Chains A and B, each alone.
Chain A
Amino acid sequence: MAVALSAAWIDCPQCHGFGYTITPAGKHVICSWCRAEQSVLGFIENDLVYWGEQLSVSSVLEKKLERTINWIVTTVFIVAASAGLIALLLEIIELQVTHQPLVHLFSQRSPLILGFWASVVADLFLYYRLVRSNQHRYITAENKLAHFTITGSATDWKYWRNVPDQKKIEASLYLHDTTTAALEQAYLLAERWHHTEVKPLHLLLTLYERSDIRALLYRLEIDNRELQRTLARLTNRLEKSAHPFTTPDLGAELRRALLLAYAEARDHHRPQVKPVEALVGCILADQLINDALYEREVTLDKVRSLVEWSNIVDDMLQQQQRRYHLGRSKPKTIMNRAMTARPTNQLDAVSQDFTLQARAGHFLPVIGRNQAVQEAFRVLQEGHSSVLFVGESGSGKTSLLQGIAQLMTAEDVPVSLQDKRFVVSEPGAIIAGAGGVGGIEQRMELIIRDIIMAGNVIWGIEDIHTLLGAGSTGSNIDIGKILMNYISQGYIKVVGTTTTPEFQKYIENNETFLRRFQVVTVAELAPADAVRVLASRALYVESKQKVYFTHDALVAAVELTERFMKDRHLPAKALDIMEEAAIYAREQLGEHALVSKAVVERIMSEKTNVQLSAISQTEAQKLLHLEQILAERVIGQTEAIQAIARALRRAREDIRDTTRPIASLLFLGPTGVGKTETAKAIAAVYFGNEQAMLRFDMSEYDTPDSLTKLIGAAGEQGHLTEAVRRTPFGIVLLDELEKAHSDVLNVFLQVMEDGRLTDGTGRTIDFSNTMIIATSNAGTDTIQQRYDQGATTQAIEQELLSGDLLRHYFRPEFLNRFDHIAVFTPFTPEELVQVGELMLQQLAHQLQAKGITLQWTPVAVIDLVQRGYNRQFGARPLRRLIQDTVQDGIAKLLLDKQLSRRDSVELQPGGEVTVIKAEPI
């Protein structure tokens, strides 16, 4: 069972945690050892936890009755309070009628006034009841009070039972009212069905009736009916009481489920155990439930991440409320509370006041960036230091600035940063429109003077690197230097942002700059944090597009972009996909549609040309019958095709190592036997497009310096790396591999091993979504000889791998990197006839577009093949022959106007073509 929490149970040895013993007559008798109290003791993360609340028909009834009475009492008291007011009003009217002064209202004795005062008592009592009924116990950090370590006496239930109750945690006290209600319902359900024991299953069934739990499971794309059927099946298996009047008891399993639910809530800093945590508890404690949900592809992790999703949203709303409350006292203008600030007209003209925007609630919460924000605050508190956030574009630097503004608005910042504005500018706005010699410098000076005079501004500058070297024409000082000068004197504090490449290019070697700024690295968000960011933004996108996301869709958006969009960064790239998927779902499926994983995969497929969507019937068929599909285009080569198809199926089902290329294949064989054709066919089947192929003629890379051509000299892009960067999904076809220089081969050795390559500019190019296919006719003579000697393909492949046949061309470790070496054999005359037919079919297809039909007889084809047969060059001479005779012949006929639409041409033995004119219309 997937129990993430470390939980150990010690059950009462007498009743095994059940709390009751069953007599031979089948009657339930309260356990004489534990008296049904603390029958199950749980060690959860070193705390001793127990379930103290007893459930029985009377206790459930009592609570129900209590709720009813409460309702009645409250209603009566409200009526009494209203009646009291009416009585007072009547008395006032009477005084008015009898012309008595109002001063006498309470001085006189009257039943109406007495009634009024009695109603005031009712009011006070009502308030007392209201406050008391809203009193709950909340799980706090202090709940972790016991800190026991399980020792040798761990199994001794009596020993732990005798530990004073104050040192244990009574989990039932922390149940949310809705969970208590569900638990009572579960009890009544077990009683109605005459079950002997209340089990997690009963609780699950009642939880399942709740709309919030259904909404949660809806996002998991669970088939409700199927799940209900499974649960019903499980329920039928439960033991029924032999005595119809025996009431059920809280079983040990359910106690454990509730204790685990408590631990779950505490671990996620929830104040009370809500139904969602109870659901997790049920899955954790009951293997049957776990299995039933697993069967529906619902894992504990998925449920937990959904619970976390709803928690994120809850926390987000709470935090927003809190910040809104705290931010209310933040001034709405540029003035600070101390009233020492001054207007900053120059600054305001080129920037946005992030604190004012945060106060107005324009920013979404920032997730997973606490460490970077706190580091920035630490730096800003230091004397003359400013902060520079360095991170890849799309990693969330602007969000970080927004997060700082939110904290500053709530004054949730160190004292020295309180009562300040956070104003953010873009260099473009600073530079734009400042004309004339010294215009930009003057503007910069004025802005900085504004900031110094105001004294309450922290200045944010996005893409700060653009300031370095920027200045007006004819000026020999750049505005970056002006900025650094003021920072070093401690007049202003700046929070700048820049991207990693720009940092490396402009700043890394600029010591003057780095003395003023402390770098805070904004690492790309971890996928788990990125999912949380998406979860926090999903609500906004959902309400905007009127659709709903499944949890899998969010996870897929993160995972797929992480895998297939290597040149962009999380969370921005995943957020874009999420939005696009929402728009797509609304447009294609209508409002209130569910944005599932499949929708996200579809969007990703469209963007990247990778077939991602769950294998549809046709695609599955294609993969299952890959051999036939390939065989339609490639004649012969049965064994090679079979091996290739096996390798591709492995790759498509994603059971491969995703850090290496999809597959690395070496096609060996003489010229013209279908190696390139096979590669094209694979591109069409696997990548959905015959053009998804990058072809490199390796004979062009036969010198030592050709390596730089391939991967780029320092600071330059290479042919291969640039091509793969632009088209990262497709086949990299390396023709005539044996002709490449050994240094070039070494590069491919690395590609096949690591799935990536660094180009001349220092960029890492990802090859994990490419398929490397190398073709070579190295050693074909030897291969042919071995065939002639009667060796099987398998034996030859084995010899190739051991390096004997190819040792003159490739090193054994290089050959070993290939997933498969496919040997293409020369065509037999029969196979060549099929090739000839195939070529003629292709030609016929081309002529069809002109309205001309091409016909041929088997004799004509055999004759063609006989004339074009060349064992050494395979099908190439045949193709040339068809070009020279058939195609040329038809071209002449077309030019002479002897051939027009609807006519047919017939290929005759000898390569001649005759025209069969169509019947005139």
Chain B
Amino acid sequence: MSTFTQVVRFLVVDIVLMVMYFPVWWYGAGTIKIIRVLSWQAQDIVRSLNLKILAQYLFVPMYGLTDIWSRLISFPVRLVHFSLLTLQATAYIILLLALLAVWLLAPVFVVYNIVYQFGIIDTNIYLWL
């Protein structure tokens, strides 16, 4: 067997293995990777919105004003501020979870569509929309 044929054979085997490993990777290492990336993103948003610090300082008057009126005003303002930011973070995290769902469902969804296009199944999920 010539070197070239040998090389081609190796490569064919490589390609076949690579194709077969594709779904395994998607739901295994790939999913772990995507979860890691998404969780970094979630942590980053929580950190950059300072939610932890704001929660700790919920009862501390704002702008160093310690008189009673400032204290009275400070708490509700902080609460609204904190709630709005929490809402923003929650929305972002929901978006990230949606992305994870897309990742998990994407292959199944694509396969369904291909199978549907071939007429192997007749259930039309688009009618449910």
Contacts and interface: CB of A to CB of B under 8 A. Distances in A.
Interface of A: 57-58, 61-62, 65-66, 69, 103, 106-107, 109-110, 113-114, 117-118, 120-121, 124-125, 128-129, 131-132, 328-329, 337-342, 419, 453-455
A329 B85 CA distance: 14
B33 interface: yes
Nearest to B78: A339
B7 A339 contact: no
Contacts of B30: 128, 131
8 contacts: A107-B126, A113-B113, A117-B113, A120-B110, A132-B18, A329-B47, A340-B63, A454-B64
Nearest to A418: B53
B126 A103 contact: yes
Contact of A58 (B3, B33, B124): B3
Contacts of B10: 62
Contact of A109 (B4, B54, B117, B127): B117
A75 B61 CA distance: 60
A342 B65 CA distance: 9
A69 B11 contact: yes
B48 A329 contact: yes
Nearest to A69: B11
* Residue from B63, B107, B117 whose CB has the most chain A CB atoms within 10 Å: B117
A138 to B, nearest CB: 16
A132 B25 contact: yes
A61 B61 contact: no
Interface string B96-121: 00000000001100100110111100
Nearest to B116: A109
B11 A339 contact: no
Contact of B107 (A65, A124, A337, A338): A124
Interface string B1-37: 0011011101100110010001001100010010000
A340 B3 contact: no
Contacts of A132: 18, 25
A341 B63 CA distance: 5
B21 to A, nearest CB: 9
Contacts of B63: 339-342
Nearest to B126: A107
A467 to B, nearest CB: 26
A106 B126 contact: yes
A128 B54 contact: no
Interface of B is mostly: helix
B113 A128 contact: no
Contact of B11 (A66, A338, A453): A66
Nearest to A64: B7
Contacts of A57: 3
B89 to A, nearest CB: 13
Interface of A is mostly: helix
B93 interface: no
B61 A62 contact: no
A455 B107 CA distance: 54
Contacts of B106: 120, 124
A65 B3 contact: no
B68 interface: no
B80 interface: no
Given A128-B26, A337-B50, A113 B117 contact: yes
Given A69-B11, A339-B62, A341-B64, A128 B25 contact: yes
Nearest to A114: B117
Closest 5 CB pairs of A and B: A114-B117, A329-B48, A337-B50, A338-B57, A342-B64
Contacts of B3: 57-58, 61
B38 interface: no
A794 B80 CA distance: 100
A132 B21 CA distance: 11
A65 B6 CA distance: 12
Contacts of B116: 109
Interface of B: 3-4, 6-8, 10-11, 14-15, 18, 22, 25-26, 30, 33, 47-48, 50, 53-54, 56-57, 60-65, 78, 81, 106-107, 110, 113-114, 116-119, 124, 126-127, 129
Contacts of B54: 337-339
B122 to A, nearest CB: 10
A339 B57 contact: yes
A65 B11 contact: yes
A61 B127 contact: no
Nearest to A343: B63
Contacts of B26: 124, 128
Contacts of B6: 58
Contacts of A454: 64
A454 B62 CA distance: 11
Contacts of A342: 63-65
A745 to B, nearest CB: 71
Contacts of A337: 50, 53-54
A538 to B, nearest CB: 34
A114 B118 contact: yes
A9 to B, nearest CB: 31
B119 to A, nearest CB: 6
A341 B64 CA distance: 6
A324 B15 CA distance: 41
Contacts of B11: 62, 65-66, 69
Contacts of A107: 124, 126-127
Given A58-B3, A62-B11, A337-B54, 8 more contacts: A61-B4, A61-B7, A124-B26, A124-B106, A128-B22, A329-B47, A419-B53, A454-B64
Contact of A338 (B33, B56, B126): B56
A66 B17 CA distance: 14
Contacts of A131: 30, 33
Contacts of A65: 7-8, 11
Contacts of B107: 124
A338 B60 contact: yes
Given A65-B7, A121-B110, A340 B62 contact: yes
Contacts of A117: 110, 113-114, 117
Nearest to B63: A342
B64 A329 contact: no
B103 to A, nearest CB: 10
Nearest to A330: B48
B22 A62 contact: no
Contact of B64 (A120, A124, A129, A340): A340
B116 to A, nearest CB: 7
A532 B52 CA distance: 39
A114 B64 contact: no
Nearest to B47: A329
A66 B14 contact: yes
Nearest to A328: B48
A118 B114 contact: yes
Given A66-B11, A128-B26, A340-B64, A329 B114 contact: no
B53 A338 contact: yes
A652 B78 CA distance: 75
Contacts of B129: 103
* Residue from A103, A106, A454, A455 whose CB has the most chain B CB atoms within 10 Å: A106
Nearest to B34: A131
Nearest to A456: B64
A346 B78 CA distance: 27
B110 A124 contact: yes
Contacts of B8: 65
B90 to A, nearest CB: 18
A142 to B, nearest CB: 19
A65 B61 CA distance: 68
B60 A58 contact: no
Contacts of B119: 109
Nearest to A107: B126
* Residue from A58, A118, A129, A453 whose CB has the most chain B CB atoms within 10 Å: A58
* Residue from B15, B50, B61 whose CB has the most chain A CB atoms within 10 Å: B50
* Residue from A103, A120, A340 whose CB has the most chain B CB atoms within 10 Å: A340
B36 to A, nearest CB: 12
A114 B61 CA distance: 62
Contacts of B7: 58, 61-62, 65
